Amino acid sequence: KAGVTQTPRYLIKTRGQQVTLSCSPISGHRSVSWYQQTPGQGLQFLFEYFSETQRNKGNFPGRFSGRQFSNSRSEMNVSTLELGDSALYLCASSLEGWDQPQHFGDGTRLSIL
Amino acid sequence: AQSVAQPEDQVNVAEGNPLTVKCTYSVSGNPYLFWYVQYPNRGLQFLLKYITGDNLVKGSYGFEAEFNKSQTSFHLKKPSALVSDSALYFCAVRHLNTGGFKTIFGAGTRLFVKA
């Protein structure tokens, strides 16, 4: 069974630009969550989608948005990029059920110049 | 505020010795508890979870964890460490709040196993 696939793996952008990151979950997983990982802040929850609906949201500004498609694939968009947005962005999928573990992709490393 | 604490930034052990990576939490209700491991340039991998039942849970790669409700702790353990266990370990707590279930991760503990 294929794991969670995130594309691209690496991305370099400049301040003010926008970026879209993609996540393909494990087949059969309808829950997709996004996290931002930085050395200083650790893992921060961005949002969770289930069946195309945002089910939960973290404390990030409105520049961070996401969506989920009918095939459970998800995208995350960040507009008006800032230097502080440089991070590893991780996507995780899981089966339905709050006791289910999350399965993570290898992330997209975003660098803002 | 809901929180997860991993009090040690780094744990150093010799190969063959037992290891413990500590985790305590402060959340309301009965949370679900998880441990994940992260290797360089990779995402997190699930190790084990506690939902209910026996306080000692066993997981992947010989790891186990002990749930202690009175101390609100969920420490990760392994009887005999391997060099290949060197990685970054995260404790996670999933709990119910007003917006639904949320997962909080600890800051992570870096484990170094010396040969």
Positive or negative torsion for Cα A41, A68, A79, A7: positive
Nearest CA in chain A to B50: A99
- Does pLDDT of B100 surpass 90? no
Shortest Cα distance, chain B CAs vs residue A99, angstroms: 6
Contact in structure between B51 and A99 (CB atoms under 8 Å): yes
Contact in structure between B35 and B26 (CB atoms under 8 Å): no
Taking CB atoms and an 8 Å limit, are B90 and A43 in contact across chains? yes
Mean pLDDT, range B67-75, rounded to an integer: 95
Nearest CA in chain B to A102: B46
- Does pLDDT of B97 surpass 80? no
Q: Torsion over CA of B41, A34, B24 and B16, rounded to 10 degrees? A: -20
- Does pLDDT of B29 surpass 90? no
**pLDDT for residue B99:** 67
B83 and chain A: CB distance < 8 Å anywhere? no
Taking CB atoms and an 8 Å limit, are B99 and A57 in contact across chains? yes
A104 and chain B: CB distance < 8 Å anywhere? yes
DSSP string, B6-43: ---SEEEEETTS-EEE--EEE-SS--EEEEEEE-TTS-
B29 and chain A: CB distance < 8 Å anywhere? no
**Chain A residues within an 8 Å CB radius of B36:** 102, 104
pLDDT in tens, A11-59: 999 999 999 999 999 999 999 999 999 988 889 999 999 999 998 889 9
Mean pLDDT, range B14-20, rounded to an integer: 98
CA-based R_g, chain B, Å = 14
Beta strands B3-5 and B24-26 are antiparallel
Taking CB atoms and an 8 Å limit, are A56 and B101 in contact across chains? yes
**pLDDT for residue B11:** 98
What does the alpha-carbon distance between residue A13 and residue B53 come to, in Å, rounded to a whole number? 48
Residue B97 Cα distances to A13, B2, B47, B92, B107, angstroms: 36, 9, 25, 15, 21
Q: Tokens 């060197």 correspond to what residue?
A: B86
Lowest-confidence range among A64-68, B24-28, B55-59?
Answer: B24-28
DSSP string, A5-47: EEE-SEEEE-TT--EEEEEEPPTT--EEEEEEEETTTEEEEEE
Mean pLDDT, range B15-26, rounded to an integer: 97
Taking CB atoms and an 8 Å limit, are A101 and B34 in contact across chains? yes
Segment 51-80 of chain A within 8 Å of chain B by CB = 55-57
